[in-house]
Structure formats: C-alpha cells, structure tokens
Structure 1
C-alpha cells in the first residue's frame, strides 16, 4: 500500500512538472535580475529548467541547470563604452545602436560552443522562454526544438517589436520608447513620434531583420524562414504596470509582470545599516545603474554633482565603481555595489538620484522614495517623463546638469512633501493587485504548456499583414472608389457640356 501511494505521488509530481528552456543572452544585469527570479521560481515549483545565461551562478539550485554564455560579455562590454554618448544622439542613431547591438549578441549566441552542443543534442522541451530585446533570431530555437515559446521583455516594447508582434500601439498616444515623451503629446510631438516609429520599423524590417533571418537559416537545421515564425509567440510577458507606466491596450496573450523582482527587504550589511541608522537628517541614494558607471561621467558633470552633494545636511550613499573619488565630501559614502532595493526600504532614505532605468523606477515606487532623474539612453527618458507627469520625480538632463540645477532639484524634493505623497500613492497602486506578479507570470507560463501553446489567445489581427491590420487596403480601395466616382462625374459633365457646345455650333 505504501509503495502504491509513493508511486502515485511520484506520477502526480511528474504530471505537473515540465521541461523548460530559458534563453537570456544579453549581459545586462537589470535584464537578468528578472530572468533569474523567474527561472529560480520555476525550478522551485519542480519544473526542470535549462537556463542559458552570461552570468551563471556559482551555487547550484535544484532543478535548475545553467549553461554559460560568458563569451557574449565582451560583445556588450565593448558597446557599453558608448552608452553615455547616446545621451547626445538622435533617436535615429539610438535605433541603429540598439538593433545592431542586438544582432551582434544573437550572432555570438549561435557561435557559442555550449549553444552548438545544445542544438546538436536530442533534448526535448515543453516550452521555451526567450528574452525579447532586439534578438529576433532566437526564435529559431522554438522551431528547432518544436516547442511553443514565450517572450519576456524587461521593458515595454520598442516600436519595431510592437509591429512584428501585431501589438496595437498608435503613435498618437504611445510614445516611442527612445523619446522623452509621455502619452500626452502635443501636435509636434505626435508628428515626431510618428516619424520615429516609422523609421524604427523600416530600419528594423529592411536592415536588421534580414540579418537575423540569414542567421537562423545558417544555424538552425532545415533552414526555417524567420519571417514565418516572428509572431508565433504563445505569450508575451512585459515588465510594465500602471503604477510606473502609462496604461495601454493589451491583447489577450500579453501579460504585465511589472514589479516581479520586488520583495520584502532583506537584512543589510552591517556597514550600510550603521550608515543609514546614524544619518539622522536622512540619506540620498545615488546610482546610475548596472550598465552605466558614475566614474565615467564627464569631469564637469561629476564636479557639479559633488558640489551639490557637499552642501547637503543629508548624507549620500553613492554607487561608485572606481577605487576613489577625488574631492569626496565628508557626507558621501562610496560603494562599488549596493543592495539598492533593500537600501531604499530604509526609513531614513529621503530621495533617489537615478538614471531612470525601469527596475530602479519601480523599486523607488514600491519603497515610496521620490526621484531625481538623470536619464541617458533607451527607455530611461520616457520612464522619467512619465514619473515627472505622475508628480513624484524631477528631471535633470545630463546635458543641462549644473551644481545650481541639481541643488534646486534636491531642495525641492527634500522640502516639498507633494513628491513623497505622490510616490506613496503610486506605491499603493503597485501593491494593490489580486495576485503577485511573479505568481501571475508562472500561472500563464504553465497555462501555455497545459493548452499546447494556447493558440486560442491569438487575436485575429495577428494573422493579417500590417497594411490589412491598419485598414490601409480598405482606405486605398475607398480612395480609389471615390476617385472613380469623381472621374465618372467629371467625364459625364464634360461629355454633356461637349454635346451642348457642339449643338450650339451647329445651330
């Protein structure tokens, strides 16, 4: 009897566990924070997870097999040197930079010896989870392993991604992710936004996507056509939420998971805890994220920041990657790395000076800390524009940053209670959900497997060409019909007048 019960329990566990391949090749720590949170939870729930990552963990986790993609790190490190310069670049140049970077990562991914070994194996997977970040060539893996796939984006979608995924995103109220716009655009902004969206889509479709197409044909047996696979995703997980992002139209197979990485604060290292506890006037936290380095800031901007901080009665906790900071004020503590979200939870933290990355923005909302934004590239400008419109942040663009402007922003944030009040309102919105975002993401991943790819979630528009989806063919037919009607009327009138003139000449 005991043996029968044991066998039944074992079979029950096996029936509810799946083999999942998770692929996240871009070595951005902010992206992989979400990825690791997800795969670790899947493994915890007894799924057998194979995780391809540039940063494999040193400690092993039950049910989680990590495959190294460390060869991709130099590809990104070389391009990270250019990130600060993107602040002065146009949207057009940013599109080129990001899409070409994504292709370079995808190309190196397929050349990685561990990936080649996996492709040549006879492994079977019930589902594939792919990072959605300018790396469309990865979709070839779903064809190779004959498995449904889920896309996971660490930020709202770029214009070109929305286009090929048939995701509704009108340029009239959905800002291009590379612009400093919110959804409430004036006429000029809507015009510019339309131009940026059109350029983004055309550059991706005509220049970048053909490269990914050839990459898939080269490395995936059977030479599948990527164009036939692009919008076959069963599910799209997007790191967004109305507390931090503006509401937008979501189709049935798009699930928001914004704030998935957030949790209750953990115990801080002793030196940080002591520093925060002893800062009776409060603490300002300053970090430019994991990809940008404060030490790479232009000297004049760095000096302006130092002078502004030195005038504060509050202490400053600064993520500084170099060994020392020349002319470091007494009230500034430097750290090469810090547990940001846990620090923001401390009661003495009064403001957060940030680059405006989405994870940092969500952490500040969750912890109820107002922001001062110094955005540089990608979605950071849009994130900060939305934060300003919601009333819990101030914007100090890097090109305009001076000691006076930063000091004004600090004084305003610290002394005007409206910023804290507004961020606490957003915090309530973020926390007020029927289900935790991580649990929601896991549910839908398992749902897709249970329903064999969940094709019933696809809305009919996904099977139309872009011009059909936007009724351009109908508009063209209507315009042609109207033209024909006017042409017939014109020719009829001309014929009648001609006959009358002829008759008059005869008379």
Structure 2
C-alpha cells in the first residue's frame, strides 16, 4: 500500500519538529559569528593544545578565530588563522640545567621562572606581528594564556573587549582572579594532595601551604605590576592593574574534581579538565601505527618528558639507566626524543621528535606510560586508562605523581634517585600486577562521566560571554573585597569595639545611677537617725 499524501505531509511535519527540538537541545542559544582572539604566549606546546582544540571547535561553529602563539596548526582549518610569534625562550636553559641534575627546588627557581615567563609574554606582546594585528583589527572576545604573567590581563582593555583566562593546570590562588572562595578549612592545597577528610595537623599544614602560595602570588603580582605599567599606562586611559584583573569575565582551568578534591566554584570558574583530549583519536602516522600494532603479544610503552624537558639533555648516568631498563624489556617502546639520533638506542625503541601523545595513549596495545608527571600527561593517561611510572622532575610534577601513587594506578621513581635497578623494579611492578590497570580504568570511568564534555562546556561558556557582552552579571562581589573584608575581620573588629563601648557606657551609667541611689539612701538614713 502506498502512503497517502496527507500522511506523508504529516510525517514530514513531525520529522521537522523533531529536528528543531533536537537542535534546540543539542545546540542551545546559538550566537552570531564572533571574532575571537586567543593570545597564548607560552614556549610550551602542551599548554597550547587545549586552546587550539577549543578554537577549532569554535571555528567549526562559524566563528572567526585567531591564535597568536609559537605553535601554528600543521593542517589549515576553515575560519581559523594562526599568527606565528616566536620570542626568546629563556625556559630552555632552565630546563636543560634541571635535566642535568641541577637545582630543582622551586624556592630557588621561582624568581628565575617568573622572570622568564614575564619576559616571554612581554616580547610576544610587543612583537611586530601582534602589534600590527591589534592596530588593524577589532575583536569581540580575547582568550589569554595565563601562567605567571598576570600583567597579560591588560590585553582585554587594550582591545576593548571581554576577557577569558585559560590556565593549563588546576585552580589555585595564582590564577584566582574571579575571587573563588579558597575554603582553607576544607579544601586541601594541591601539594597536600586529595583527602577525604583533613585532621587538625592537615589543616595546620594547609594553612601553611596556602600562606606560602599567597606569598608566591604576591611576588608575582609585584613583578607583574612593573610590566603592566610599562605596557598599559594609566596616562593612556588604561584601568589600574587591580581593575583590569577584576574585569576578567571568566576563568577556565584544566582540571576536574575527580583529579583533586571537590570545592565550591563560582559560575565563572569553569573546570575544563581534559580539554585537549579527543574522544576519538586521530589516525597515527604509518610508522607509529605499525609499531604499536606489532606489539600485540607483549604490549607497548610510551616514554615522554613533555614539551619543555628534553630527553637529549638528560644527565648521562640517568640516560643510561633509562636505556638500560628499556633495552631489557619485551615490550616495544616509543620515546619522545628531540634530536635526530639517540646514542645507544635499543632495538625495541622507536623515537620521534614530536609524537601525538593523546592518540598514542589511546592505542589498545599501550600498557604503560613513563612520564615526568605533568598535568596534561597525567590527565591523558587517566582518560585513556593507562597506568603510569612517574619520574617527576620539577614544579607540580611531584604532587601529580604522588597523587597517582595514592590513587593506586602507578609508581614513582624520584629523579634524584633514578637508577636502572629502581626504574626496572617500578616498571615490572606495574606491568606484571593487574591492579594498576584495573584501578586506572575505574578512575577513567569517573573522569569521563560528566553531563558535557570539556570541549562542549568550554565552547558554551565562550559563546555565553560573547552573547552577553562580557557577562558582567557573573562578577562575584567577594572579588572586590580585601582579606580583612572577606574574612569579616573589619566587622568583627567593629562589633568588638561597639560591645566594648556599650560595656563602658553601661558601666559608667550604672555607676552614676548607683552613686545617685546610694547617696539618696545615705541622706535618708541620716535624716532618720537625726
């Protein structure tokens, strides 16, 4: 039987309604095409991967996006434009010294690292490419890479558009420009690690760690003010450094509550942990694909020290320890190596200068990730369910690796203690004991289980800020308060003084009343006896 025309029209109408409803649910509040600039002055390619993925998604949704960084895309994307800016990288010398076993203490490295970050940002900001861009074009929104370079917040007022900050690690006081409550009594500082509850001594240590973080941030701000005044002087109509920070519309940071401890969050402090991770991996280069596919019997291992720490600069004895360990394994190994040749390379090792880490970790034959423990690396391993042997070297890597051990899905060999025997023992434990693989798969399930992907969430909030012209209604009034006001110390002091004044007035008044009454009684008694 052939359906009637009326019935076909009816079905077509219902189908159209269904499509409209589905589009409304999946893509709410579409915005008109916006011009979005992402200024990301970082010498670390891994820090840029998240924003690049976000911009590509925005470009696919019809926005006109521009990325200013040292790392242009390898393949062009419609509506996506790269502005290549390379500044002198002072971090390279610092990283090379660390890999040679030099001083890794953050206390002594802090001033050098801050200066390097500020200088890199300043040179990128004043590069001919960026200066020409801001002279000739106007934008609806700017997304800024935030990393020990607080003065970068002046770019928003410079372009006269709303500002979003992106931070490639977890939320801390170093980036908390939106005034998110710290909750020191209940939220462990990152170096204390995730805890289900804190003892008195944990809370005491938490106070100390938060105080150190505040002092660190105070020093960064002190240095940043100098660069802010030089680049955004008040004489030219720019707001003060403090006002520019308060004008930030949104803070996105690359972490998720399953990686840390749950904490209260303002609506403009957005968790986008795993933003750089693709739900479906891209095809691997042929050589890497064949290498991993051929590791079906014993599995494969991936080794990388990230984008800043270069394996070729490793101290010789530590390099020999790693090579000695890997050369005795049955597994095939892929090693991120930054030069054309590796001395003494074992036959079971394949090297590459830049490797698609996220796609490699997604391969089913990968059994272990040997990593420095950077935030991005740990997050990607967690997402793909790959256990870790960490060799933390500096910064937050010790904290990240220690949390992996506490959570039961990896082992750690401290860089200072790295020997062939210790590394071999850690690798064999993780490879031979299935508990590590089982545990990381449980954690991966928690990390992946969320109502919206990190990419969808970040995209929504970027468009939200554009749609509402900076979304000033998200501003938290607590961000305007100083420490005394936020802690209600001024109120407590006022109440204490008021109570003291009332007490003194009451005592004075009662004293006067007592004196009058007692004097009257004495006079009356005197008259009686006379």
TM-score of the superposition, structure 2-length normalised? Answer: 0.81
Counterpart position of 2:112: 97
When Rg is computed on C-alpha atoms for both structures, the one with the higher figure is 2
Determine helix, strand or coil for the equivalent of 2:174.
Answer: helix
1:114 correspondence with 2:129: yes
Structure 1 residue 175 displacement after superposition = 5.3
Please list the CA deviations of residues 184-206 of structure 1 after superposition, one character each: whole Å capped at 9, or x if unmatched. 7754743541342232133123x
The counterpart of 1:460, out of the listed 456, 477, 488, is 477
Bigger shift: residues 86-95 or 290-299 = 86-95
Counterpart position of 2:412: 395
1:128 correspondence with 2:145: no
Residues 427 and 278 from structure 1, CA distance in 2 versus in 1: closer, same or farther, beyond 3 angstroms?
same
Residues 218 and 462 from structure 1, CA distance in 2 versus in 1: closer, same or farther, beyond 3 angstroms?
closer
Counterpart position of 1:278: 294
The counterpart of 1:54, out of the listed 28, 48, 70, is 70
Determine helix, strand or coil for the equivalent of 1:74.
Answer: coil
Residues 269 and 160 from structure 1, CA distance in 2 versus in 1: closer, same or farther, beyond 3 angstroms?
closer
Please list the CA deviations of residues 267-321 of structure 1 after superposition, one character each: whole Å capped at 9, or x if unmatched. 2222222222222112121111111111212112122222222332323222222
Residues 466 and 189 from structure 1, CA distance in 2 versus in 1: closer, same or farther, beyond 3 angstroms?
closer
Residues 14 and 239 from structure 1, CA distance in 2 versus in 1: closer, same or farther, beyond 3 angstroms?
closer
1:295 correspondence with 2:295: no
Residues 106 and 215 from structure 1, CA distance in 2 versus in 1: closer, same or farther, beyond 3 angstroms?
farther
Please list the CA deviations of residues 343-365 of structure 1 after superposition, one character each: whole Å capped at 9, or x if unmatched. 22222211110011122112111
For 2:312 and 2:187, the matched residues in 1 are separated by 34
Unaligned runs of 5+ in 1: 1-12, 492-507
The counterpart of 2:170, out of the listed 156, 160, 163, is 156
Structure 1 residue 239 displacement after superposition = 0.8
Does structure 1 conserve the Cα–Cα contact (< 8 Å) formed by 2:139 and 2:161?
yes
For 1:158 and 1:193, the matched residues in 2 are separated by 11
Does structure 2 conserve the Cα–Cα contact (< 8 Å) formed by 1:180 and 1:381?
no
Bigger shift: residues 392-401 or 463-472 = 463-472
1:216 correspondence with 2:241: no
Residues 314 and 487 from structure 1, CA distance in 2 versus in 1: closer, same or farther, beyond 3 angstroms?
farther
Residues 224 and 417 from structure 1, CA distance in 2 versus in 1: closer, same or farther, beyond 3 angstroms?
same
Does structure 2 conserve the Cα–Cα contact (< 8 Å) formed by 1:285 and 1:352?
yes
For 1:478 and 1:396, the matched residues in 2 are separated by 54
Residues 85 and 470 from structure 1, CA distance in 2 versus in 1: closer, same or farther, beyond 3 angstroms?
farther
Determine helix, strand or coil for the equivalent of 2:301.
Answer: strand
Structure 1 residue 106 displacement after superposition = 2.3
Does structure 2 conserve the Cα–Cα contact (< 8 Å) formed by 1:54 and 1:73?
no
Q: 1:97-496 residue pairs with structure 2 within 5 A?
A: 97-121=112-136, 123-162=137-176, 164-171=177-184, 174=187, 179=191, 181-183=193-195, 186-187=201-202, 189-190=205-206, 192-205=208-221, 207-218=222-233, 221-263=236-278, 264-279=280-295, 280-477=297-494
For 1:167 and 1:486, the matched residues in 2 are separated by 38
Unaligned runs of 5+ in 2: 1-28, 509-530
- Aligned residue pairs: how many? 475
The RMSD of aligned alpha carbons is 3.0
For 1:456 and 1:134, the matched residues in 2 are separated by 27
